Structure 1
Amino acid sequence: MRVSTDSSGFRRWLEAGSEDIPAADVQIITSGGRSIPAHSAVLASVSPVLESMLDRPQRRGSSSKSIPILGVPCDAVLAFLRFLYSARCDLGAESGEMEKYGLHLLVLSHVFQVGWLKRACEAGLARRLTAEGVVDVLQLARECDAPGLYLRCMKLLAKDFAAVEQTEAWRFLQAHDPWLELEILQFLQDADLRQRRRRRKREEQGVYMELSEALECLQHIFTEGCTDVGPFDQAPRRSPCARFATCRGLQHLIRHFAACDLRRHRRSCPRCKRMWQVLRLHSSICDQPDPCKVPLCTQFKLKSQQMEGKEEDVKWRVLAKKVAAARVMSSLAKRKREEQLHESFGWSL
């Protein structure tokens, strides 16, 4: 039996005396004592729970079947039946009912196992979440086994918890559901820890990117030359590179390293120590054939081979891998930007 899918399908099914539409054979009993006529064929086709209820034997003396749907407003039951009869959820045409009875429809679709309507209710409620009503929706999402909606509620709580704390729903939850309160607070703590880890990872990644840029400038200075530092047998002299700030700072560091009065005790000079670390880090990721033009590269490579397996050498290798990975990521990001630029330029032509 085909169910009409137009907006007036429910009304047409309830029209008595039509030749192609049978008379209603079941009564839906609501909390307000109202009895709504319906068709068992339609209800059984959209809900396994309703089908099971309809298969139960009737009470003696009862002339027609009845199904109680209690605990929700009568108008919400009517809206639920309209969705069942239409066999779809048209959020455009039925947005008013979804907005008004969304919570009740979620409960009914969960209880009667109407999957497509439950998913539509979850999506509709998620779009309308506010700090004022998120606690109520969260409790319902947990009871109705709606993990997607539950997670959206938790994310809103974490984002705007100061506003949620001022609501009456939150105070009621604190007084009557301490387990859910503990669950929420645990989620907020975990979210804060995740945010801190992401921030720390971004900061570390920024340091690795800076080191990668410094090593590129170091290679550039001793291979091609740049402004005041580098080979002097090239004509014409090169202009400052694109990474002027990093390159210029590294040149000052190189000049200091070469002329420092503490050459015999460079470990006590912070600027010389920094330059020493940059040179050692370069040697850890250098893939140039010997002799490399960067000073001390060969010596550091030999020393690293002698210290292989020791804790200090392992730490340097780990740092070198992270800096090398940052260089690769930077190169890929640069290539992607260039490709997007070329595509944009080609499209504009």
Structure 2
Amino acid sequence: MAPQTQTIHIQHQTNRVLPEPDVCIHTSHGTRIPAHSSILASVSPVLENLIDRPRKHRSSERIIQIQGVPGGAVAAFVGFLYSSACAEEEMEKYGMHLLALSHVYMVPQLKQRCVKALTQRLTTENVVDVLQLARLCDAPDLHLRCMKLLANDFKAVEATEGWKFLVNHDPYLELQILRFIDEHETRKKKSRRHREEQGLYAQLSEAMECLEHICKEGCTDVGPYDAVAERGRTPCARFATCRGLQVLIRHFATCQRRASAGCVRCKRMWQLFRLHSYVCHHTDSCKVPFCRQFQLKMQQEEMKDDPRWKLLARKVASAKVMSSLSLPKRKRDEEMRVTINNPGIRSYKLL
């Protein structure tokens, strides 16, 4: 039995008085949509070529066949050509069909709308189908969003019928997805490792600032050798870091095993002194212990110097710059003035 013919008339959202339709769009299941060739041709170059195609008989009706999608999707597509608008209900129901039509008939405004709508409606259930469509319709942004969802929630996607169908019918795409997931995990691990390293460099940078601060002004327990003891001194803003350094300094000053290099805590303090000498730019006036000695030793043994220490010093200095840039401008200017006017001191003592 032949399908019953249905005619859908597009509601024209325009103030213009339009002539009678001169072209008819035929869809699947016998649906007919009368339309105006001038409007279709002005929006879609593909439809323009179809309309301008020579006919066998001048008197024959102009017909455009749009098959393979529901008649409602074609009606929504033609409605967009007239009004440049698409209802949310139509996008919800025919979003994937409209993306395919907008790509085939080269309607970029509708394609952008479809990409945005499908991105907002991505789920683990439909992501495989949307991914395949995005690849066919040259929609890289939508394709990337699909791949990211697959990578972040692969266990849930793996249990869907769409993924099982993909595995059985498109092994090449399956390989691409698995490769992307592997690279995604590698990037995440690398990014996490980079953040951890930057956090360590930031901590060392703060330790260098606290070391100079302790040796110049004193901080609670440890202060300059020539400073008058001030009892009841309030903790500084970086109390946790300064307190840890004070404990190390007090231990370093009294440890009996330091001479034999058998103390891990003394070795750590010694490394901090050495690192400071690499980042210090005021060797002649710097008052941090051993700074000048390390600088002189580096000058005498420049060719033998360990490049790893130079790299660490650059990383710590870079972390200090990045930290200062993240501060508000007024506070950054104040810290800059303090740094310029800070001559440092030569030694420290236990108060």
Same fold, judged at TM 0.5 (above): yes
Contact 2:79 2:85 (C-alpha < 8 Å) held by counterparts: no
Give me the whole-angstrom Cα distance separating, in 1, the residues matched to 2:66 and 2:303.
73
Q: 1:56 aligns with which of 47, 53, 59?
A: 53
Contact 1:132 1:167 in 2 (8 A): yes
Percent identity reads: 60
Once the two structures are superposed, the pairs formed by residues 297-336 of structure 1 within 5 Å of their partners are 297-310=291-304, 312=306, 314-335=307-328
Higher RCO (C-alpha under 8 Å, 6+ residues apart): 2
Indicate how the Cα distance of structure 1 residues 225 and 48 shifts in structure 2: closer, same or farther if over 3 A, else same. same
Please state how far the C-alpha of 1:336 moved relative to its aligned partner. 5.6
Matched, 1:241 2:239: no
| Partner Cα distance (2:21, 2:303) in 1 | 84
- Give a deviation string over 1:15-43, Cα, whole Å, max 9, x none: xxxx9321111111111122221111111
Superposition RMSD in Å: 2.2
Cα separation, partners in 2 of 1:285 and 1:51, compared to 1, 3 Å: same
**Any conservation in 2 of the 1:89–1:120 contact (CA below 8 Å)?**
no
- What letter matches 2:257 in structure 1? L
Taking the TM superposition and a 5 Å limit, the aligned residue runs for 1:228-307 are 228-231=221-224, 233-234=227-228, 236-237=230-231, 238-266=233-261, 268-307=262-301
Aligned-pair distance for 1:169?
0.3
Q: State the 1:331 CA deviation.
A: 2.0
**Structure 1 match to 2:121:** 128
2:210/2:242 contact within 8 Å kept: yes
CA shift for structure 1 position 155: 1.2
C-alpha displacement of 1:199: 0.4
Question: Match for residue 204 of structure 2?
Answer: 211
Question: 1:262 touches 1:269 (CA, 8 Å); kept in 2?
Answer: yes
Corresponding residue for residue 11 of structure 2: 11
Distance 2:137 2:220 in 1: 69
Task: State the Cα distance separating 1:333 from its structure 2 match.
Answer: 2.1
Q: State the match for 2:24 in structure 1.
A: 27
Structure 2 residue matching 1:156: 3-state secondary structure? helix
**Distance in 1 between the 2:65 and 2:96 partners?**
19
Shift of 1:60: 4.0
SS of 1:334's equivalent in the other structure is: coil
Q: Distance in 2 between matches of 1:168 and 1:308?
A: 66
Structure 2, unaligned runs of 5 or more: 1-8, 333-351
Q: Give the partner amino acid of 1:132.
A: E
Unmatched runs of 5 consecutive residues or more in structure 1: 1-8, 340-349
1:191 aligns with 2:184: yes
Contact 2:276 2:291 (C-alpha < 8 Å) held by counterparts = yes
Distance 2:185 2:256 in 1: 49
Amino acid at match of 2:238: R
TM-score by length of 2: 0.86
- The CA deviation at 1:289 is 4.6
**Farther off after superposition, 255-264 or 108-117:** 255-264
Question: Aligned pairs, how many?
Answer: 322
**What is residue 74 of structure 1 aligned with on the other side?**
71
Cα separation, partners in 2 of 1:337 and 1:157, compared to 1, 3 Å: farther
